[in-house]
Amino acid sequence: LTNGKTARTQLFRLESLLRLYQRAFPDLERYRRTVKELEDALGDYAFATDSVTFARNTFNRENETRVPDAARKAQQEKILAGLEKKREAARRVLTKRVETSTLGTDLPRLHSVVASRFAAWTPSKDLAYVKVELHRLLKDVRDGRFDFDRLEDGIHEFRRRLRWFPVLIDSLDGV
């Protein structure tokens, strides 16, 4: 889990499973929130890091084709400094979140909770439950009212809701 993308993928997978089963087992919500907080901080840091890399690569390509004048070079440096500042702030938030997260100590407890809650579930009961929940998830996306003229409340919200379906399928190892 030292690779940020790998760690984030595993956190997404765990969060998706906790989301899936929280209707049947509401006490899983506490664990889901803990996982989400850590994943959000990791995602913010990854975005900030990717932004710096993208800007640096873009400027390097631009500067290979045309040598920048002093004003353009200063503008590039200002943009990179601003992005580096955001990356550093995201790193501090991630560091604090990792240091204060209870996820590490919660995992053994979560394992026990899951084992006790699922003790009476047969594979057929689990499959039936998963089918209903996946259907509910897709129905929620299909029936949602999204204003696709609005970026955050429309397109982004649609993507946010829809993304859980493939993440769940992945987390369930294809069902």
Residue range 96-121, pLDDT digits in tens: 999 999 999 999 999 999 999 899 89
Give me the pLDDT at residue 174, please: 67
pTM: 0.82
Average the pLDDT over 7-26 and give the result.
93
Give me the pLDDT at residue 6, please: 85
C-alpha 18: how far from chain center: 14
Which amino acid type is present at position 166?
P
Name, in order, each residue with C-beta under 8 angstroms of 138's C-beta and a sequence gap of 6 or more: 165
Give me the pLDDT at residue 145, please: 86
Q: Alpha-carbon distance 25 to 14, whole Å?
A: 15
Give me the pLDDT at residue 173, please: 86
37-95 confidence digits (pLDDT tens): 999 999 999 999 999 999 999 999 999 999 999 999 999 999 999 999 999 999 999 99
Q: Would you say 167 and 12 are in contact if contact means Cβ atoms under 8 Å apart?
A: yes
DSSP label at 3?
Answer: S
Tokens of 161: 């809701």
Q: Would you say 42 and 7 are in contact if contact means Cβ atoms under 8 Å apart?
A: yes
Q: Alpha-carbon distance 27 to 89, whole Å?
A: 33
**Strand, helix or coil for residue 124:** helix
pLDDT band at 1 (very low <50, low <70, confident <90, very high): very low
